[in-house]
A = this chain, B = another copy of it.
């Protein structure tokens, strides 16, 4: 049982964490720190907080502070929050990239900061899309370093486990490299695929008539919040470009196989086999 948890940034992830902490009675008090005045009421209606405020100093009473804004905002917030964070508090975050965040977090807060990344989400955004059990069964990565206070890590991991997540520890570099492959690259692919088909369709509504469940799946990530993805792709640019290069190579091979009417069957056989190593269904 935690005493006071402050969540800075009440979107899908922050909101869902707040709802879980309240619904599962894991924290005596959940405070949401928001930017827009209207968000105070939205957080209360969503039952994602006990109180919400625009005043950052409210985190002074928290034993756990969770940063849940877009990546670039989290980086900036580290120095903003440092004067208010209790010496014995734990600070963690929910950002999709860890390099810049962990650097800023340790620089401002030392061993009290532990980088975190719950692998849960949706193309829907905002506290209105938040839900209890979003993290149930999801992987929640933590990226401790040699500076991390072991007790801070323990507390952060404990909170993630308590809301149902499977916790995994990775070093920062491995996290960002792996997340580029399994999450950041697929978002770029979905966006480019959607834009390409839209261009090919050129307003012809018959494309929509023929689009089925496969295309719905393949384009869903393209509907992800643009600001979040601007930040993520900027923060994890090199890893994502490296992953996209490997993808472009595979795509070129596939087109060559098609041109030569060669080996398409084995390409799909290998892809189906590869998928069993990557995805749990």
A: residues with CB less than 8 A from B are 119-121, 138-139, 141, 166, 168, 170, 174-175, 178-179, 181-183, 185-201, 203-227, 229-230, 233-234, 237, 240-241, 243-244, 246-251, 253-255, 258-259, 261, 264-272, 274-275, 277-281
Take A139-B212, A264-B229, A269-B226 as given contacts and tell me if A207 and B182 are in contact as well, using a CB distance cutoff of 8 Å: yes
A194 touches B275 (CB 8 A): yes
B188 touches A272 (CB 8 A): no
Best-surrounded residue of A215, A259, A270, A275 (most CB of chain B within 10 A): A275
A215 to B, closest residue via Cβ: B182
Chain B residues within an 8 Å CB radius of A247: 192-193, 196
Q: How far is the CA of A145 from the CA of B268 in the complex (A)?
A: 33
Chain B residues within an 8 Å CB radius of A211: 119, 182-183, 278-280
Take A265-B227, A265-B230 as given contacts and tell me if A215 and B183 are in contact as well, using a CB distance cutoff of 8 Å: yes
> Copy number in this complex?
2
A192 touches B279 (CB 8 A): no
User: CB within 8 A of A268: which of B191, B200, B244, B251?
Assistant: B191
A250 touches B199 (CB 8 A): yes
Nearest 10 CB-CB pairings of A with B: A198-B274, A226-B268, A191-B271, A192-B250, A222-B271, A196-B247, A230-B265, A217-B217, A192-B251, A196-B246
Q: How far is the CA of A204 from the CA of B247 in the complex (A)?
A: 18
Q: How far is the CA of A105 from the CA of B127 in the complex (A)?
A: 56
User: CB within 8 A of A278: which of B192, B201, B254, B279?
Assistant: B201
Best-surrounded residue of A121, A206, A208, A274 (most CB of chain B within 10 A): A274
Chain B residues within an 8 Å CB radius of A210: 119, 139, 141, 168, 175, 178-179, 182-183
Chain B residues within an 8 Å CB radius of A280: 208, 211
Best-surrounded residue of A138, A187, A214 (most CB of chain B within 10 A): A214
B119 touches A222 (CB 8 A): no
Chain B residues within an 8 Å CB radius of A174: 206
B237 touches A258 (CB 8 A): yes
A212 touches B237 (CB 8 A): no
Q: How far is the CA of A119 from the CA of B216 in the complex (A)?
A: 13
Q: How far is the CA of A187 from the CA of B275 in the complex (A)?
A: 13
A175 to B, closest residue via Cβ: B210
User: CB within 8 A of A234: which of B121, B241, B261?
Assistant: B261
A196 touches B277 (CB 8 A): no
User: CB within 8 A of A222: which of B188, B212, B275?
Assistant: B275
